[in-house]
């Protein structure tokens, strides 16, 4: 009960804009872009053309394409939740679309229905 009250106070004090920092504590953890793409495919969403774009910090970034290349899924994997949150905070300054957030990852699609489907498949939360 005490934890719930503390979290509610934090959310109210900080504003709804950072709610995504607390939302994605559940869901699957992934160690690589390949693992995310495999899980998306296993969930019945065909994501092809997987590419790893960088390694380091974030741990790994990459992408794949859904709908015969119609939608690009940009994937970011992190070592820690804190690093993920720092990157999300920066992303929010320049990106005003939904983001699918998981325990140590996030991804963007630019297409809300696809983001919802992927979130359901991976166990992430869609944030606006």
Does pLDDT of 1 surpass 70? no
3-state secondary structure string across the chain: CHHHHHHHHHHHHHCHHHCHHHHCCCCCCCCCHHHHHHHHHHCCCCEEEEEEEEECCCCEEEEEEECCCCEEEEEEECCCHHHHHHHHHHHHHHCCCCEEEECCEEEECCCHHHHHHHHHHHCCEEEC
How many whole angstroms separate alpha carbon 66 and alpha carbon 35? 16
pLDDT in tens, 24-66: 456 899 999 999 999 999 999 999 999 999 999 899 999 999 9
pLDDT at 84: 96
> How far from each other are the two terminal CA atoms of the chain, in whole angstroms?
28
Quote the mean pLDDT of the chain. Answer: 84
Structural domains in the chain, CATH included, are: 23-127 (3.30.200)
Residues 75-90: pLDDT tens digits? 999 999 999 999 999 9
Q: For residues 92 and 128, is the Cβ–Cβ distance under 8 A?
A: no
At 9 the pLDDT is: 31
Residue 26, pLDDT score: 66
Tokens of 10: 């934090």
């Amino acid at each position: 009960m005490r934890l719930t009250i503390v979290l509610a106070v934090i959310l109210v004090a900080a504003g709804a804009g950072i709610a995504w920092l607390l939302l994605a504590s559940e869901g699957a953890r992934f160690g690589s872009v390949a693992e995310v793409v495999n899980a998306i495919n296993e969930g019945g969403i065909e994501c092809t053309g997987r590419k790893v774009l960088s390694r380091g910090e974030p741990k790994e970034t990459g992408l794949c394409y859904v709908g015969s290349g119609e939608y690009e899924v940009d994937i970011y994997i992190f070592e820690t939740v804190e690093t993920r949150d720092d990157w999300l905070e920066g992303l929010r300054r320049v990106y005003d679309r939904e983001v699918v957030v998981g325990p140590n990852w996030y991804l963007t699609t630019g297409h809300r229905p696809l983001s919802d489907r992927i979130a359901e498949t991976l166990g992430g939360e869609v944030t606006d």
